[in-house]
Structure 1
């Protein structure tokens, strides 16, 4: 059985280089594209891409519709299928312009990877996200233990994420020098910090509460005065793993290294929310929490622009469209409130009419 096609491997390498250098995609996105293309290749028994025919696109769509998730055993979601098909559509569209392929593949051939209009609407529909309230996150923070160095660090991570709305991968890469407690700010310097799109910007602490800021301040003081960390050391160092007294490998304190990725931070959040008796909320969901708070507190367009900019968004529209969707429960409250306001306005109108009629009658009697 074939495991690869040499010619395909060469053109894929060129395509991935195109995605990296021309489209400026990050490694994780390129990996996802590679996985989708590999899945199609395997289904097509590693045929030469130059022999692509629209019937292959039709057949692969039917194949995906019958596939099941390896972990859950359920059919693949419409969103997963949509994502894979759009990835293949982009790849074939690019192939159509390459030497050796352009005479055999047309740009229109890529359109045959489009799912049905109904499936596309289902896949791209906006649905309520599980967003923790500010009160719930505060409850988690102050329920977390803070005895050992590791526990202090974990509590400070949740507090810092709420104060700044920083993405988890950025949180894993901050250094002490990036935090200015006096200015209540964090400098997200893309030279050191793994920010999204490698953007550099300053975030000021969101108005969450001085007690949450105190958690972060105490942690930084602990790092500097007790653990002797310097400005170039990690703000949230990785756990040091070594042999314990029981003769097994386990956590024995903190290292002076950064985490390689955000996996450990997500585990910290999961444990913290479960310990507080709340459903798991990932670190990114706290950005939604902050946007919901901003929608309530900001009174002018300028204030919301500043709030949006504080999250690292260049356009306010990004904050509104990606994070600002009103939850269904809140939507019900707003509409009900407007109904009550309308009823109050009607009553006020009735009262005004009655008062006007009374004044008119008194005028006639006079």
Structure 2
């Protein structure tokens, strides 16, 4: 009812017209695919003539059979007839022109308090929108587990909408593999067969091949779901060891040998992206500022598009990542200090905010508004503030445009990798490294090292060239430096500190 903004009567009317509840329980539970099928079918029958007692409500866009007590007859100026009534779904007035015979039938129902649906119910009549023909159903739809999935979704409110959608997709994939089997009857054999199916999909080379990362995520989502399921009242008979049967072999946890590393801009390339980015129009200046702030605060694309003007504090060189107002990963709120990047990044972002304020934007408006708000004066008639963009497409396009000027193709996430690798160059102490990671939104340095300081193949080649050139460095120190770059040393240990000193000394000699 909330999703479609309709009343309970409308839902009841949909059920009469062919919308199938998932089971016989109450309150009603509906499968999303079934709701889509029903409304798709209603759209395909939109041109079907109305039945005798059926009215088209132009307020709620429904075909309805009004309450017979509300029916009134009207005689038109040309001698024809019309019948008016009240839509039971939205209480709007519905009117229908009819011939004399149909008018008498409708009035007869009103006089005898008989439902208008009874006027033309014949065996070969297909009610509008019922749509149960097999050719209208695009995919097999299973209903038996919908109620427990509805209960799980209430538990899943702890996660973001995107995460919940990914988990639901994994659960539905498993359900389809088991041909819609009731989850209360799932066995260890079912789980192990699905696990083997995923393993073979990852190891195949056909069109249905799944990446190792996808398989790991699917297994993680399903294991989490079944850990919740086995403690629910109606599922106590399930084997308590089921979640463990989703576990994958260790090789699926190992990092795969990538054929191509993700491109990360150098400091010179990052600066050139801003310097060469087009800035003739207000849209181009907005795009350039989005690229600049991605580097300045190591922000994700989704966070960038959801920032408000107040979130940029240029005086204190801070970007506020407020999880209550912005879209942030894992609901994190941070006060991010500007990273030590070239001054042009700060200049571009600050100039953009000043331009917005000059155009009449306030603190609660989007820092990077949609293009449509750039034409004409600011319209606040619909909302007191200008809402942020809902997608990240503009950020991706901005990066494509900025990197095109240097004949590269960098993604928005490359900015975070750039900041992660800049840490290796700048941070001289454990405390500085820790502060850098915290400012990136990471709870510990391991996350920064694991995901954003990956050593490139070019850097490995440089190190080995140094090994073979015999620059007077002992073999033990060479091996120690290589282990440092491969993140094999534990921060804080004597080995780590010596390796770090050797690397810094070597860098200073080459400058």
Normalising to structure 2: TM-score of the pair?
A: 0.58
Deviation at 1:269, TM superposition (A): 1.7
Residues 115 and 124 of structure 1, relative CA distance in 2, 3 Å threshold: farther
Of the three residues 216, 228, 242, the one matched with 2:349 is 216
Residues 82 and 254 of structure 1, relative CA distance in 2, 3 Å threshold: farther
- For the residue of structure 2 that corresponds to 1:307, the secondary structure is helix
Retained in 2: the 8 A contact 1:149–1:253?
no
Matches within 5 A, 1:62-73: 62-65=196-199, 73=207
Retained in 2: the 8 A contact 1:93–1:110?
yes
Residues 253 and 85 of structure 1, relative CA distance in 2, 3 Å threshold: farther
Matched, 1:3 2:137: no
- For the residue of structure 1 that corresponds to 2:336, the secondary structure is strand
Of the three residues 184, 198, 201, the one matched with 1:50 is 184
Larger radius of gyration: 2
- For the residue of structure 1 that corresponds to 2:241, the secondary structure is helix
Deviation at 1:199, TM superposition (A): 2.3
- For the residue of structure 2 that corresponds to 1:121, the secondary structure is coil
User: CA–CA distance in 2 between the matches of 1:46 and 1:54?
Assistant: 16
- For the residue of structure 1 that corresponds to 2:319, the secondary structure is strand
Residues 114 and 330 of structure 1, relative CA distance in 2, 3 Å threshold: same
User: CA–CA distance in 1 between the matches of 2:364 and 2:319?
Assistant: 14
Residues 338 and 229 of structure 1, relative CA distance in 2, 3 Å threshold: farther
- Structure having the higher helix fraction is 1
User: CA–CA distance in 2 between the matches of 1:203 and 1:268?
Assistant: 22
Matched, 1:29 2:163: yes
Q: Partner of 1:174 in structure 2? A: 307
Deviation at 1:112, TM superposition (A): 2.1
Matched, 1:236 2:368: yes
Deviation at 1:197, TM superposition (A): 2.5
User: CA–CA distance in 2 between the matches of 1:151 and 1:344?
Assistant: 50
Matched, 1:18 2:155: yes
Retained in 1: the 8 A contact 2:271–2:344?
no
User: CA–CA distance in 1 between the matches of 2:284 and 2:262?
Assistant: 29
Deviation at 1:52, TM superposition (A): 0.5
Q: Partner of 1:84 in structure 2? A: 218
Deviation at 1:83, TM superposition (A): 1.7
Retained in 1: the 8 A contact 2:307–2:366?
yes
Deviation at 1:196, TM superposition (A): 2.2
User: CA–CA distance in 2 between the matches of 1:168 and 1:13?
Assistant: 31
Retained in 1: the 8 A contact 2:188–2:239?
no
Deviation at 1:45, TM superposition (A): 1.5
User: CA–CA distance in 2 between the matches of 1:124 and 1:278?
Assistant: 23
Deviation at 1:216, TM superposition (A): 1.4
Of the three residues 305, 319, 322, the one matched with 1:189 is 322
Retained in 2: the 8 A contact 1:65–1:75?
no
What is the CA deviation profile of residues 265-305 of structure 1, one whole-angstrom value per residue up to 9, with x for unaligned ones?
123223332453102x2222211101111111111112222
Matches within 5 A, 1:207-356: 207-225=340-358, 227-240=359-372, 256-279=386-409, 281-334=410-463, 336-337=465-466, 343-344=472-473
- For the residue of structure 1 that corresponds to 2:372, the secondary structure is strand
User: CA–CA distance in 2 between the matches of 1:55 and 1:253?
Assistant: 64
Retained in 2: the 8 A contact 1:79–1:124?
no
Retained in 2: the 8 A contact 1:238–1:254?
no
Matched, 1:158 2:296: no
Q: Report how many residues are paired.
A: 327
Deviation at 1:162, TM superposition (A): 0.8
Q: Partner of 1:356 in structure 2? A: none
User: CA–CA distance in 2 between the matches of 1:109 and 1:278?
Assistant: 48
Normalising to structure 1: TM-score of the pair?
A: 0.79
Matched, 1:99 2:210: no
Q: CA RMSD in A?
A: 2.9
User: CA–CA distance in 1 between the matches of 2:387 and 2:147?
Assistant: 37
User: CA–CA distance in 2 between the matches of 1:216 and 1:260?
Assistant: 21
Residues 44 and 275 of structure 1, relative CA distance in 2, 3 Å threshold: farther
User: CA–CA distance in 2 between the matches of 1:236 and 1:12?
Assistant: 38
User: CA–CA distance in 2 between the matches of 1:114 and 1:324?
Assistant: 29
- For the residue of structure 1 that corresponds to 2:254, the secondary structure is helix
- For the residue of structure 2 that corresponds to 1:203, the secondary structure is strand
Retained in 2: the 8 A contact 1:177–1:232?
yes
Retained in 1: the 8 A contact 2:396–2:411?
yes
Residues 125 and 15 of structure 1, relative CA distance in 2, 3 Å threshold: farther
- For the residue of structure 1 that corresponds to 2:357, the secondary structure is helix
Structure 1 unmatched runs, 5+: 242-250, 347-366
